[in-house]
Amino acid sequence: MSDKTNAVKQRNERYNKYVNTVTPKTSMTKALLHSFLIGGLTCIIGQAIGDILAYSVPSLSKDMVANITSMILVTVAILFTGLGFYDVIARQGGAGSFLPITGFANAMASASMEFKTEGLIFGTSAKLFTIVGPVIVNGIVWSTLAGLINLWILGMY
Amino acid sequence: MFSFKHTKPESMSKDNVSVVPPPTNFSSRKRVMRFYNTPRIIGRMSVVGEKESKGPLGKYFAKCETDDKMGEKTFERAEIRMFDTAVRGAVRDSGLDIKDVDLLISGDLLNQMTTSSYAARDIGVPHIGVYGACSTMTESLLVAASFVDSGYFSNVLCATCSHFATAERQFRFPLEYGCQRPPYAQWTVTGAAASIVSTNNADTERFPKIVMAIPGMITDFGTNDLNNMGAAMAPAAMDTMCTLFTQTGFCESDFDLVVTGDLGKLGSDILRDLMRERGMKLGQNYIDCGNMIYDVKQKCYQGGSGCACSATIFNSFILDKLVKGEYKRVAYLATGALMSTQSCYQGETIPCISHAVVVESPFGGECE
């Protein structure tokens, strides 16, 4: 019995190795370049919105400008998701469109659109965080850890 | 009357069945079902979405739905509607009435096979649901042919469907979610197809006949990448194909066409390699539906997948050519990956299956 399972295991390993050699890989340089361009463009647009806001309404505090800028970016990202542009951009952008705040907005908006058909409670409300759930959970866990480290270890000195 | 001549095989003897073969030995178990009464495929219908209709085989499909939702409220309803169109279209094509159909054998990709059961609710025909993932069409043809061959029923409908939007939601991410597909991913075909298998008599003699079928064996070579279906399914196709070439008495060159379901470009290349390793060279007569259905320009990476991928091509392009006699003998092996998203996240590998049916043209089936 163990002989047979060993043979199967070896066959599987051999096959997986072979599959790895023939499977086309994403080109690293191309992916990096694309995500740098798209991510950078998002950041430039964000910076531009912030600067325009700061110049046009000088009474706004720095924090307030940052908040409004994020809100505008999120709104535009959700709008693009609804109109069906965002996934087209993201197919090129990769991590460049996934990492900024717009990626988070897209993940939530797409889930809420997708599960709308199951109703407001069991559809949209229940499934809203299906994609971003891990982000939130990990965000809370790791920021708590960082905070504790800051409090106990760095705070002593 | 039966133009298909064969000596009666000893496949029915029980002692062959009880032997459990080692996993790499293909020839020890007799797996070929031969249909001596040659059931005929008398009606066919294929419905596809817009993207498929713009592919290289677009002009062969019977109907194209330009709207993804087809005027329905949800994608699931749209899929049901597409299924219904295919079933009724096949019945119309065969010249029968829906009352003459004895049985509907169908399946689809969604959980609990809601699409085919919900559609069957309105069709009003006894229904048997089969699940073979993307191999559902061959599975239902196999079951239908054995029912018809043994004389239980005279007209059996086989149908299947898949929809890009519903499959994406079930197996991957929401539609508008901006994620990058790996270059080895495949695109689920939107479409539905149906065919009618009927008894062989004077009226149906001019239609293509099902002469053999091979039930697949679950084959798992230890891949667990949810996106790389081609690599997961190629061993299953290899297993059934080896059986086909070693046990039926036909070799590669006896078939005008050997069609696999939805291995895609990568999967069919792997299959060619696997077959070459076993000393069987697949030549020009081997094609893969997933590889054919989309154009390279349509950015579907490795090609199409899903139940409808091979089913629509079989029920349009391939059966057309068989009816005209341009192809004499076609082996149709659809492959299916029988995983769920849970099993994949739990680290299980992907078990795959491939059923085969051999269909012959009514003209000159006896050629050796």
The pLDDT tens digits of the residues spanning A11-31 come to 888 899 999 888 888 888 888
Contacts of B75 in chain A (CB under 8 A): 117
Q: Count of CB contacts below 8 A, A vs B?
A: 98
Q: To 5 degrees, how large is the angle CA B185–CA B304–CA B141?
A: 130
Domain boundaries, chain B: 40-198, 206-360
Name the residue among A11, A84, A111 with its Cβ closest to that of B221. A11
User: Counting Cβ atoms within 10 Å, is residue A157 exposed (0-12), middle (13-18) or buried (19+)?
Assistant: exposed
Beta carbons within 10 angstroms of residue A6's beta carbon: 10
Report the Cα B286 to chain-centroid distance in Å.
Answer: 15
The residue among A2, A87, A129 with the most chain B CBs within 10 A of its CB, best to mutate, is A87
Taking contacts as CB-CB distances below 8 angstroms, the residues of chain B near A16 are 221-223
Q: What is the pTM of this model?
A: 0.87
Tell me the DSSP string of B262-328.
S-HHHHHHHHHHHHHHTT----TTEEEHHHHHS-GGG--TT-EESHHHHHHHIIIIIHHHHHHTS-S
What is the amino acid identity at position B195? S
CATH architecture of the domain covering B206-360: 3-Layer(aba) Sandwich (3.40)
Pairing of strands B286-288, B187-188: unpaired
Chain B residues inside the 8 Å CB shell of A12? 220-222, 349
Q: What is the mean pLDDT of chain A?
A: 87
What's the half-sphere exposure (Cβ side, CA atoms, 13 Å) at B253? Answer: 1
Interface test with A, best of B111, B176, B225, B227 (most A CBs within 10 A): B176
Q: Contacts of residue B342 in chain A, CB cutoff 8 Å?
A: none
* CA distances from residue B124 to B101, B127, B241 in whole angstroms, order as listed: 10, 9, 37
Backbone φ and ψ for B217, nearest 5 degrees, come out as -115, 140
Q: In a 10 Å sphere around its CB, with 0-12 CB exposed, 13-18 middle and 19+ buried, how is residue A10 labelled?
A: exposed
Among A19, A93, A98, whose Cβ lies nearest the Cβ of B270?
A: A19
Q: Do A4 and B22 touch (CB under 8 A)?
A: yes
Within 10 angstroms of residue B80's Cβ, the number of other Cβ atoms is 26
Among 3.40.47.40, 3.40.630.30, 1.10.150.20, 3.40.50.300, name the CATH number for the domain at B40-198. Answer: 3.40.47.40
CB contact under 8 A, B23 and A7: yes
The structure tokens listed for A71 are 């809100």
Which tokens hold the place of B212?
């053999």
Q: Return d(Cα A70, Cα A72) in angstroms, integer.
A: 5
| Closest chain A CA to residue B75 | A117
B278 close to A (CB below 8 A): no
Beta bridge partners of B287: B259
- B180 chain-A contacts, CB cut-off 8 A: 26, 90-91, 94
Chain A residues contacting B via beta carbons under 8 Å: 4, 7-9, 11-13, 15-16, 18-19, 22-26, 81-82, 84, 86-87, 89-91, 93-94, 97-98, 103, 106-107, 109-111, 113-115, 117, 130-131
Cβ count within 10 A of residue B149? 20
Angle at B222 between CA B219 and CA B226, to 5 degrees: 95
The single-letter code of the amino acid at A37 is: L
Distance from CA of B286 to the nearest CA of A (A): 20
Residue with tokens 């048997």, as numbered in its chain = B128
DSSP code, position B99: G
Cα–Cα nearest to B273, from A21, A27, A26: A21
Q: Is B125 exposed, middle or buried (0-12, 13-18, 19+ CB in 10 A)?
A: middle
Predicted pLDDT of residue B333:
93
The conformational region for residue A118 under phi > 0 = left, psi -120 to 50 = alpha, else beta, is alpha
Q: Are strands B155-162 and B352-360 parallel, antiparallel or unpaired?
A: unpaired
- Residue B14 sits at φ, ψ, to 5 deg, of -70, -30
Q: Is B345 helix (H, G, I), strand (E, B) or coil?
A: helix
- According to DSSP, the residues that pair with B49 across neighbouring strands are B65
Per-residue pLDDT tens digits of chain B, which is 368 residues long: 444 444 444 443 334 433 333 444 455 678 899 999 999 999 999 999 998 898 889 889 999 988 888 888 889 999 999 999 999 999 999 999 999 999 999 999 998 899 999 999 999 899 999 999 899 999 999 999 999 999 999 999 999 999 999 998 888 888 878 777 888 888 999 999 999 999 998 888 899 999 999 999 999 998 888 888 899 999 999 999 999 998 888 888 889 999 998 898 899 999 999 999 888 888 889 999 988 888 888 877 888 899 999 999 999 999 999 999 899 999 999 999 998 888 888 888 999 999 999 999 988 644 43
Six-digit token string for B307: 């139940």
Give the chain B residue whose CA is nearest to the CA of A87.
B178
- In this structure, how many other beta carbons lie within 10 angstroms of the beta carbon of residue A30? 10
Q: What is the torsion angle, in degrees rounded to the nearest 10, for the CA atoms of residue B145, residue B146, residue B152 and residue B156?
A: -30
Do domains B40-198 and B206-360 share one topology? The answer is yes
∠ CA(B126), CA(B330), CA(B32), 5° rounding? 65
The reply to whether residue B269 touches residue A22, judged by beta carbons under 8 angstroms, is yes
Residue B273 burial by Cβ neighbours in a 10 Å radius (0-12, 13-18, 19+): middle
| Residues A106, B176: C-beta atoms closer than 8 Å | yes
Question: What's the ipTM?
Answer: 0.83
Coil, helix or strand for B188? strand
Which residues contact residue A145 at a Cβ distance below 8 angstroms, ignoring those fewer than 6 apart?
none
pLDDT at B179: 77
Give the SS3 label for residue A39.
helix
CB contact under 8 A, A91 and B178: yes
Helix (H, G, I), strand (E, B) or coil at A58: coil
Q: What is the DSSP letter of B219?
A: B
Q: For the range B363-368, what are the long-range contacts, defined as Cβ-Cβ under 8 Å and sequence gap of 24 or more?
A: B363/B325, B363/B328, B364/B325, B364/B328, B365/B3, B365/B4, B365/B209, B365/B211, B365/B328, B365/B329, B366/B3, B366/B4, B366/B5, B367/B328, B367/B329, B368/B254
Helix axes of A86-93 and A28-56: crossing angle, nearest 10 degrees = 130
Please answer yes or no on whether B222 and A81 come within 8 Å at the CB atom.
Answer: no
Sign of CA dihedral A45, A46, A52, A53: positive
Q: How far apart are CA A9 and CA A115, in angstroms?
A: 41
Q: List pLDDT tens digits, range A29-66.
A: 888 998 899 889 999 999 999 999 999 988 888 899 99
In angstroms, the CA B157 to CA B216 distance is: 21
pLDDT of residue B27: 53
Distance CA B10, CA B31 (A): 11
What is the C-alpha separation between B185 and B165, in angstroms, rounded? 16
